């Protein structure tokens, strides 16, 4: 059974605080902003799909939204997409691609990306 990294959950809780399932209205508002190209909303919608927060859990949909935000340079989405590739959730597992997304997140100031990249680099040595 695959486990989410402690780092991911720490970063998720840091960003979302004590998130409780958003109302349907809030989810629809996020969806609309995401469809209009708002990277923060795209990432948030990805999180909703990944953990099933107020909508049906769907890793492939999560990857779709993370990728849209990540390609705009949104660091948290780059990190989240890296996690999906590292674990093979919604995409085929691909650790080199995961590292590339962590590297981008780190370059864009997302400290969790730097930590994950270091952990993966350390694993490559041992």
Mean pLDDT for 44-69 is 96
Q: How far apart are CA 125 and CA 13, in angstroms?
A: 30
Q: Number of structural domains, the chain?
A: 1
For the chain, how are helix, strand and coil distributed in percent, rounded to 5? 70, 0, 30
Residue 110 lies in a domain: yes
| 77 within a domain of the structure (yes/no) | yes
- Residue 66 included in any domain: yes
CATH assignment of the domain containing 34: 1.25.40.10
55 secondary structure, DSSP code: S
Please report whether residue 1 resides in a domain: no
pTM for this model (two decimals)? 0.80
Report the percent of the chain where pLDDT is more than 70. Answer: 80
pLDDT of res. 2: 45
58 assigned to some structural domain: yes
Q: Is residue 76 part of a domain?
A: yes
**Residue-number span of the structural domain to which 55 is assigned:** 25-125
């Amino acid at each position: 059974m695959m486990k989410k990294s402690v780092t991911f959950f720490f970063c998720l809780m840091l960003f979302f605080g004590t998130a409780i399932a958003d109302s349907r209205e809030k989810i629809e508002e996020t969806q609309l902003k995401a469809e209009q190209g708002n990277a923060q909303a795209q990432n948030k919608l990805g999180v909703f799909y990944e953990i099933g927060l107020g909508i049906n859990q769907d890793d492939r949909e999560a990857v779709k939204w993370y990728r849209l935000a990540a390609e705009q340079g949104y660091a948290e989405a780059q990190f989240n997409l890296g996690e999906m590739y590292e674990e093979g959730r919604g995409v085929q597992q691909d650790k080199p691609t995961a590292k590339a997304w962590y590297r981008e997140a780190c370059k864009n100031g997302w400290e969790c990306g730097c930590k994950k990249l270091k952990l993966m680099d350390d694993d490559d040595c041992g």
